[in-house]
Structure formats: C-alpha cells, structure tokens
Amino acid sequence: MTESTESTESAVSFPPGFLWGTATAAYQIEGAAREDGRTPSIWDTFSRTPGKVLGGDTGDVAADHYHRMPGDVRMMADLGLSAYRFSVSWPRVQPGGRGPACGRGLDFYRALADELLAAGITPSLTLYHWDLPQELETPSAGGSAAGGGWPERDTAYRFAEYAGLVAEALGDRVELWTTLNEPWCSAFLGHASGVHAPGRTDPVAALRAAHHLNLAHGLAVQALRAALPARARIGVSLNPSAVRPLTPSPGDLDAQRRIDALANRIFTGPMLAGAYPSDLFADTAHLTDWSFVRDGDEATAGGPLDTLGINYYAPAVVSAPGDTATGASRDGHGGGDHSPWPGSESVVFHQPPGELTAMDWSVDPTGLYDLLMRYAREAPGVALMVTENGAAYDDKPAADGTVHDPDRIRYLHGHLAAVRRAMLDGADVRGYFLWSLMDNFEWAYGYSKRFGAVYVDYGTQERTPKSSARWYGRVARTGVLPYPMPDE
C-alpha cells in the first residue's frame, strides 16, 4: 500500500493540531445592517437594486448572527469544531471606510473572539469578504473624498488603514489573519460580468480592480505585521481554478493557459512571486497597457506570507472557441450578459459529466488535490489551508424536524480524502474550513441556495444541525476519516 492510495483503502487519521473549522462571511450571516453605527456596503446597495438578487433578498437580517452570536458559538463547540473563520464587516468597524474605528462595531468582534477562545475554538479572521463601504465606491454628493472603489488606487490605502485598526483592536485575541477573500470575485464578478456588487460591466475596470486588490493585500500585510504580535500568522484566501482543457489540442491548451492567467496567476504571480505573468499582459494588451501598475507595486503585493488559503468547489473545463457553447455561459459564475474573462471572452466553458450540486457545480475532489499539490510546489514554505469547501443542496426538514443531507456527507468525505491524500504526498495543509457553518445569504442567489451544515429557518431563525454537521463534528473530534463512508 502506498501513502497516496492509503486514504482509499482504510480509515485515515489526520495529524494532531489540524484545524477543523467552518467558515462564514459578515454580510451573509450578521444582519443588523443599520445598528451600532454600521453604514451601507456595496452589497447593501447592490441587493436593493431591482433585478440584481434573486427574489429581491437582502442581508438586512440574514441569519441574525449579530444578535445570536453566543448561541452560535455554543453550537460550534457542541459540534466539536476547533476553529472558526469569520469576516469583519468593514462598514461596521470603520463606517464610511475612513477615519476612526467604531467602538461598538469592534466590541462585537472582541466579544466573538472571546466567546470562541472560551469555548476552545481558534478564531480565524478575514478582513475583507466583499463588503466595501459604499462611500468608497460612490462618495456623497459634494464630498471631497475620492471614490471609485477597487478600480482606484486610493482604495488600497484605505484598506491598509482599516487593517491596522482591526489589528490594534483584536491582535491580542486573534492569531490567524486573512487579508482578502477571493479577490477574483471582487474584481471580475463585481466589475466585468456585473453579477456581484458593485455591478459594473467594464473589463478594464475589472483589471484595475484586480491590481489594486493585489496592492491592498500587500499594504495590509505590512500594516498587520507592524501592529500584530510576532506569533500572528498572516495569509490570503484565493479561489484558484483547477482549469482543465477539454482535449489536448493546441487550441484547448491555449484556452486553459488564458483562463489560468485570469483566474489564478493574476493574483499568485504578484502575491507569491512578486510579478505579473507576461502572457496576461499580452492577452489583455488590446484592453489596457497596465500603466496603473506602478514601480514597486508587485514587490509590495509579494510580501512574505505565513499561510495561503485555498477555496475550492469545482474544476473548470475549457476549450478554444467553437460551436458547442458560447463563451462563459457554463463557467459556474452566475451567467449574465457580460463575461468575467477580459480578453478571453471567447473561451468556451463546458459542464463536466457526473454528479452536480444545487449550484450546478460538478462534484470532483481531484480538483482540490491538484490545487493543493500545485501550490505546495509554487509556494514552498507557506502553509496551506482549505479555507472554503462545501456544497449547496436542496435541504428540507423532515416531518420530525430533522434535516438529512447524505449528498453533502458524501461530498465532504470525498474532499477530505483528497486533502489527506495531498498531505500524504507532501502538501503542508494545516486545516480545513467547511463552507458554511449555517445557511445564509448566498449573494446574487439570495436565500435560495443552502450551503450550511446547520439549517436556518429564516422565519424563526431556529438553527437545526443537519446530519452532515453531526458527521463532520465526529470527524473533527476524532481526527479520523472513516472508510468505508458510513450511511448517515
């Protein structure tokens, strides 16, 4: 029996100290949108724009975590989790994105961290999960402050200032820090396809946003290292794509290269190697000369990291332009009339065969294995974390109130096996965070998609752990992934 095949033949143990967590995001669960000094974010504005979010849903109440936080932490502890990844709401702790911090907003996160530590749960803090203060996008009429959001350079400096404020307030409680969550979505879904806030459809603005997110990350790393104790571990969470060619033809291989540049290397180039890939510049030269990249920016973005977070859900299969499909219609990112792939709009995306989740995403743990091994090679010495992985299914309570979700258990089992296989093959993976702790506001899909291990009745806010939550909790408590997978 070889190490890499062991996980398919017997129960496998994860090493002591491996973090077993769940993840959430502020706008998706907190609610309390107008309380304690919080001002609107771009998602407050976007969700109120007719036609942007399914059913006209907003995050005004969401899962009401702001008021129910202590009980939610007790629920995590009861499940046996050892870590919790949450995001801080920028407009809650720094209303408007400028100036002093709001004490009431910071108090909420201090209390959350204290509750987690008292329960033996490691807090893992993400500074930005897409909720840019609206004033940084569109300043109030007559104001002198710059706006324009992520396509503008000033936003990167505002983010670094905000990072320093949070670090000063929570550095005594939190050791695991993440700058940005999925900057690809912020840049390209927010500014090219327009299916996420702020809803722009300008490919050049998307490329500018990507660069300024890279710069913001680097500046924030500097601010965090200046403010945090030496024990703090700082990283970023990307959603790299496991891009695969439909065939080994030269055209399909070039399509793979193009999407890999836009999905992956546009961020890992600066962040891991201190430079953008030259083929990205060539592919987009008809759109921009990239003059918004200033001397020193790439080096700033490439400051040393302690951890690299990998968010993974499904692979992408691509081909050269042809007659079988049109553009990005099957890329898994919500459709829309505009492509999120500037300069490569004609690349065709294909639905892989096999099982699908409720998001129409394929279930394929090999993509997670491939990404972990890729970044183990490309970022030697940087610890890896699976900071998001999970699936949406059409969960419904049974007559007795229980929620049985065997499909999610199978999904988690397969992906955890892929993580352990990668570890046995040399990847330094330190933890796994299931997306998500509970059902929540799923961005442009509103409340129609349920990713949670815990079912939320949005009318009563009652929480019901699904069978997957109990199964995952047993794996977390024991550190053992059973084989064969039990029938839950």
Active-site residues, by number, are: 182, 388
Q: Give the helix/strand (H/E) hosting 215.
A: helix 203-227
Sheet with 243-245, side-by-side order of all strands:
243-245, 316-319, 348-350
Q: Which two tokens stand for residue 265?
A: 């290397």
Buried b vs exposed e over 155-191: b needs ≥16 C-beta within 10 Å?
bbebbbebbbbbbebbbeebbbbbbbbbbbbbbbbbb
- Other beta carbons within 10 angstroms of residue 397's beta carbon come to 14
CB 82, CB 19: distance < 8 Å: yes
- Can you tell me the distance from the alpha carbon of 63 to that of 70, in angstroms, rounded to the nearest whole number? 13
Tokens 């400028």 belong to residue = 98
Buried b vs exposed e over 418-453: b needs ≥16 C-beta within 10 Å?
bbbbbbeeebbbbbbbbbbbbbbbbbbbbbebbbbb
Q: In 3D, which of 76, 20, 125 has the Cα closest to residue 420?
A: 20
HSE of 180, CA atoms in CB hemisphere, 13 A:
31
Q: In 3D, which of 127, 15, 116 has the Cα closest to residue 74?
A: 116
Q: Spell out where 175-275 has E strands.
A: 176-181, 233-238, 243-245
β-bridge partners, 20 = 432
Q: Which two tokens stand for residue 399?
A: 């007559």
CB 355, CB 362: distance < 8 Å: yes
- Going by the DSSP 8-state scheme, the letter that residue 438 receives in this structure is B
Q: In 3D, which of 357, 337, 339 has the Cα closest to residue 348?
A: 339
- Can you tell me the distance from the alpha carbon of 447 to that of 429, in angstroms, rounded to the nearest whole number? 32
Strand bridging mode 480-481 / 12-13: antiparallel
In angstroms, what CA-CA distances link 43 with 58, 63, 120, 335, 444? 8, 16, 33, 19, 10
Cα R_g (the chain), whole angstroms: 21
Q: Spell out where 14-157 has E strands.
A: 19-23, 83-87, 122-128
Longest CA pairwise span in the chain (Å): 71
